Amino acid sequence: MLIYTPRGRAREYSPKALNIYLSCTHGCEYCYAPGCRHQTRKQYFAKPFPRNDIARNLWSELDLYPTKEQVLLSFIGDVYCETHDDNRATRECLEALYAHSVPVAILTKGGYRCLNDLELFQKFGEHIMVGTTLTFDNPRDSKAWESGAATPAERIGTLKRLHSSGVRTFASFEPVIGPTQSLHLMDETAKAGIVDVYKVGKLNNYKGLDKQIDWTDFLGKAVEILRGHGKEFYVKEDLRRCAPSIELFGDETLADAHTVRW
């Protein structure tokens, strides 16, 4: 099956997922995918082709096994990284999902490249949300950690364009590598009103850096910012466990409360 149920930490992001490409050009230092794919970083961080006949096979699968649960694009690869087919397979899969009335979430660090499909996002209406991972507030750190991804300014500019075009947006704060930078990005995007949903996590098991961060302090400040701006947000379980003294309520701990539906 192309559409599958994620397990573990990934399940907090979406009840279903679809991986269109199986490599990526973003080169993120913290990426877990090379290990999952049993590949070297050089093998994984290569310009991808789409999976064989992915769009045609997806149409056939949806004809036989329709779903109304949100499908995330994607956990392996980025559907708007630089690809050999200029993201054509992404567009074709979105068309198949739209034709079968399947709600979709897209998480990308590809920046403006996703805007090539803006009209298609708008066709989905309330049944799609498009988001980006926000990690650093300056291009220097971003380039060092995510060498092939869009700059922070481009990612924020993309959120602005999506939101102003009527597309529901979300921001993923995971991993959190520089808490001060993450908190600044939360505050600035919340003030700008360009993000509809925030998903907040932590850094997990990366060269001991996660052990050096005061997660209670970080989560307390994040909650203060997001509640203060009246934003919808979800705190991932790993972060909740590391900051048990921070009280959370209702949808702040219910992952599926923040999915899109049809």
d(CA 125, CA 131): 15
Between the CA of residue 234 and those of 46, 200, 227, 253, what are the distances in Å? Answer: 32, 6, 11, 6
Domain boundaries, given as residue ranges, for the chain: 8-258
The CA R_g of the chain, rounded to the nearest whole Å, is: 17
Residue 127: the pLDDT is 98
Residue 205: the pLDDT is 86
pTM: 0.96
CA angle, corner 147, sides to 50 and 51, nearest 5? 5
Q: Is it true that the peptide bond before 6 is cis, omega within 30 degrees of 0? A: no
34, 224 Cβ separation under 8 angstroms: no
| Residues of the chain scoring pLDDT < 70 | none
**Model confidence pLDDT, tens digit, residues 218-233:** 999 999 999 999 999 9
Q: What CATH number matches the domain at 8-258, 3.40.50.300, 3.30.2000.10, 3.20.20.70, 3.40.228.10?
A: 3.20.20.70
What letters, b where the CB count within 10 A reaches 16 and e where it falls short, cover 197-226?
Answer: bbbbbbbbeeeeebeebebeebbebbbebb
Residue 110: the pLDDT is 98
